[in-house]
Amino acid sequence: MRMTVFSTPILTPLLRLISIVLFKLIGWKARGKELEQQRFVLIGAPHTSNWDFPLMLVVILKLRLQVFWLGKRTLFQFPVGWLMKWLGGIPIDRSSSHNVVNEIVRQYRENEELIVLIPPEGTRSKVEQWKSGFYHIANIAEVPILLGYVDAANKEAGIADFFSPTGDLQKDMQQIRGFYADKKGLNVENS
């Protein structure tokens, strides 16, 4: 995989230190522990603000994860496209189906270590139903789902537990959503 903010020599450790200090200065806590396993789908919710990304970026840097994330293609246009890719972004054309699930599953099959971060809401706006692509990717690729979160009410962001898909989408989604029931996003009206 390509070099990103999470794997750039000299710069990554410096950014890790700066981000941890800034997090403490603003009164937030990064939760979770470093993981030996670097092969899973990471979901992040609730996704209600553009500030969710920098908050999770600090957690990812602190925990020394090598993460890639899916983002709408328009985020990768000139002049910031190179920056978004260096931040681990993978552009996705959301205007039509492009077999994104199959492509990401192929990437898992070709790479021993791979973490893809996906916001299950698919947008920062309030949604009643999550998109299920993250679930299908994990289920088909036979990798666990790691539950990442932002909780503005408690001023913390982090990772919690692994969830192994059973193939029963409805039942599994209900359990996953249950974890997030008490988490409040930065824009509470979108939670």
12 or 126, which is more confident? 12
**The pLDDT of residue 42 is above 60:** yes
**The pLDDT of residue 164 is above 80:** yes
Report which DSSP code applies to 182: T
142 or 54, which is more confident? 142
Fold of 11-184: Fructose Permease (3.40.35)
| Residue type (1 letter), 19 | S
pTM attached to this predicted model: 0.90
Q: Which of 3, 9, 23 is nearest to 157 (CA)?
A: 23
73 or 141, which is more confident? 141
CB neighbours (10 Å) of residue 63? 19
Give the mean pLDDT of 54-59: 90
pLDDT tier at 18, thresholds 50, 70, 90? very high
Least trusted range by pLDDT, from 44-48, 88-92, 97-101 = 97-101
- CA–CA distance, 79 with 71 (Å, rounded to integer): 16
DSSP assignment string, 61-112: HHTT--EEEEEEGGGG-TTTHHHHHHTTEEEE-TTS---HHHHHHHHHHH-S
pLDDT tier at 2, thresholds 50, 70, 90? confident
Q: Which of 182, 162, 163 is nearest to 33 (CA)?
A: 162
CB neighbours (10 Å) of residue 74? 10
Residues 129-151 as b/e (b if ≥16 CB within 10 A, e otherwise) read ebebbbbbbbbbbebbbbbbbbb
**The pLDDT of residue 190 is above 60:** no
The answer to whether 190 and 48 are in contact (CB under 8 A) is yes
Give the mean pLDDT of 45-66: 89
What confidence score (pLDDT) does residue 16 get?
Answer: 96
| Residue type (1 letter), 112 | E
The three-point CA angle 26-35-112 to 5° equals: 125
154: tokens are 């408690």
Give the mean pLDDT of 131-144: 95
What confidence score (pLDDT) does residue 119 get?
Answer: 87
**The pLDDT of residue 10 is above 70:** yes
